[in-house]
Amino acid sequence: MTRTAQLHRLHFLNALFAPLTGHDLYLAAQIDAAITSSLDEAQERTPTDPAFASAAAQLFAQLCDAQPQHGFFHWDAAADDTGGTPLFARAGLMQGLKQLATFPEATLLVTNLRAAHCPESKRWTERRRRDYDETLELLRELTASRTRRHANVNLLFL
């Protein structure tokens, strides 16, 4: 794995696990080692790899279970063919926000939104890029408007 890809992975893990680790890069490196030891060919996997993102989300969910004040929800936009459309993106995010409503701190991880808008076999067109940007904005605004005023919610897109 190149140094840039490894740094990208550490930044992703630091952002995801920051509420629990306090932005400690040393702990992010340890988390990376734990995830890579549980995956086959993990050294070559990047944060955009669905298996790596899923393993990180599972580990984060286990850590959140141990901390009753911090909630976690992972929504995979590419889980079905409709995840990229605004209506289904809104529904997926609302499901997570409802689940996280009781927590004073929460992390909402959205993965594969880019892949849902433009599969690997397709090209990015101006319309796809515009739809993707509009969906991102919709999800940000929805999160801001549907969370309690004093709640600390981290919305992460991967």
- Residue 43 carries which DSSP code? G
pLDDT digits (tens, 9 = 90+) for 94-119: 999 999 999 998 889 888 888 888 87
Percentage of residues of the chain with pLDDT beyond 90: 18
Q: How far is CA 25 from the centre of its chain?
A: 18
Predicted local confidence at residue 130, as pLDDT: 92
Backbone CA torsion sign across 79, 85, 91, 143:
positive
Q: What is the pTM of this model?
A: 0.74
Q: List the domain boundaries for the chain.
A: 68-157
Q: For residues 70 and 103, what is the distance between their CA atoms, to the nearest angstrom?
A: 6
More confident residue, 131 or 30: 131
Among the listed residues 8, 76, 78, the one whose alpha carbon sits nearest the alpha carbon of residue 45: 8
Strands 70-76 and 105-111: parallel
Predicted local confidence at residue 142, as pLDDT: 92
pLDDT digits (tens, 9 = 90+) for 8-45: 777 777 777 777 667 777 777 777 777 777 666 555 56
Predicted local confidence at residue 62, as pLDDT: 81
Percentage of residues of the chain with pLDDT beyond 70: 88
Are the C-beta atoms of 151 and 105 separated by less than 8 Å?
yes
Q: DSSP E strands: which ranges in the chain?
A: 70-76, 105-111, 152-157
